[in-house]
Chain A
Amino acid sequence: MNYGLGSPPKTKKQKALEKMEQELKESVEEEDKLNAQRKKEGKGSITLMIKDGIRLFAPNEQLRDKFHHALDLDSPIPGTLGDAKLARLTDPSLYRERLETFRNREILPEAYVEQYGRDLRLHVLNPDTKIIKGTLGANKEANGGPPKIEGYHLYNDKTGFDAFFDKNGRQYRTGMEANRGQKIDIKTNGNIM
């Protein structure tokens, strides 16, 4: 095909990847400024994601609390939390030893949490990840649990990973690779759990 002096038209995929690159650049630049300010105020770091003009935030403290889902994003896990180490301790008589492992806050260095945040950002900005307005915990509320949370799912059907951000602060609540039942819930009523 002859395109004359111009370059061939971009494919949909190329355009999507360029958009992702641009959003990643914007997110990182704005995050750097935000974290410099937070540092001055004595606050912890935060991961920022800007997708379709919407700003989403994942504070490191929340990422740390949800680190049990890090493997779903292929984020690295410290050796101390790896299967081999924990498997050695699974004997019920070693409960105290396992507990002691968890009591040590140094078990999860900040660098791992930050990497998990960066992997979460890549998930959010992935062109295949769609924003779905919905809720977290509607089933739990129906079973007498706390009120459901309104917000946004950032769901990728190719990887199955779903991240949820609340509507008010657009703060990260949780994210995991959905099981089959959860996928049905997300797709049919925009809810998980």
Chain B
Amino acid sequence: MKNNINFDKTRYIELLKKEEILRNEGTSLFNENREEDLELLSYGVILENQIYYNRKAEYISLVEEYLRENAGEDGARLFVWEFFNIFKKDNKALEILEKEILEQGIKRLATFCIDPKSTEFSALINQIVGSCEFLTFDPEDSYGITLDQFRDSIEKIFFKMQKYLDE
């Protein structure tokens, strides 16, 4: 996701702590202060983008394999399953990272580097999520995209992803 916020690590940790305190009191930043909730989420997006980017080789290899094997409906189902398997692990990795930041403070972020290219790469990952969610095998489903449209969309994303291979 595109993010225009500068990464103020001190403020991020301050909001993380505030959120933790509120959660322990049975409420949340979302309930108490919407602006701060969005600010905290925006910092989270910066880390989230980098986590996806760190695993770029695996994502690209999965996409490449799907396109190369050209295995129809079963291939698409397998791709969707394996893609979300990785994607969800990355989302979980952010939760773990935030717990570590809460425990260790700013020094945990000292070794976590943010590459500016991660924002654009993450946008492509989110596009794959959208394509997977709209894929339908039901010919009567007027909302979804067909297998051919799905493959086309993944192919277009793959072309954009390739430039990250050597980086």
Cα separation A61 to B37 with both chains bound (whole Å): 36
Digit string of A111-137 for contact with B (CB within 8 Å is 1, else 0)?
000000000000000000000000011
Cα separation A102 to B75 with both chains bound (whole Å): 8
**Cβ-defined contact, B143 with A166, below 8 A:** yes
Digit string of B72-112 for contact with A (CB within 8 Å is 1, else 0)?
00110110111011001001001000000000000000000
Task: Check A157/B28 contact, CB under 8 A, given A181-B126, A184-B41, A187-B38.
Answer: yes
Q: Which residue of B lies closest to A178 (CB)?
A: B91
Task: Check A143/B134 contact, CB under 8 A, given A99-B71, A102-B81, A180-B44.
Answer: no
| A:142-168 near B, CB below 8 Å | 143, 145-147, 149, 157-158, 166
> Which secondary structure dominates chain A's binding surface?
helix
Among B44, B65, B77, B133, the most chain A Cβ lie within 10 Å of the Cβ of B133
Task: Check A98/B78 contact, CB under 8 A, given A145-B153, A187-B37.
Answer: yes
Please, which residues of chain B bring their CB within 8 A of the CB of A174?
Answer: 133
Please, which residues of chain A bring their CB within 8 A of the CB of B82?
Answer: 86
> Which secondary structure dominates chain B's binding surface?
helix
Cα separation A184 to B144 with both chains bound (whole Å): 24
**Cβ-defined contact, B138 with A61, below 8 A:** yes
Please, which residues of chain A bring their CB within 8 A of the CB of B88?
Answer: 71-72, 177
The residue that B91 contacts in the complex, of A68, A146, A147, A177, with Cβ under 8 A, is A177
Q: Give the bracket for the number of chain A residues in contact with chain B.
A: 35 or more
**Cβ-defined contact, B1 with A137, below 8 A:** no
Cα separation A79 to B10 with both chains bound (whole Å): 44
Q: Does B127 contact A (CB under 8 A)?
A: yes
- 5 contacting pairs across A/B (C-beta < 8 A): A68-B85, A71-B88, A92-B65, A99-B75, A193-B126
Using a CB–CB distance below 8 Å, which chain A residues touch chain B? 61, 65, 68-69, 71-72, 81, 83, 86, 92, 95, 98-99, 102-103, 136-137, 139-140, 143, 145-147, 149, 157-158, 166, 173-174, 176-177, 179-185, 187-188, 193
Known: A83-B85, A180-B44. 4 other contacts (CB 8 A): A68-B84, A102-B77, A139-B126, A180-B45
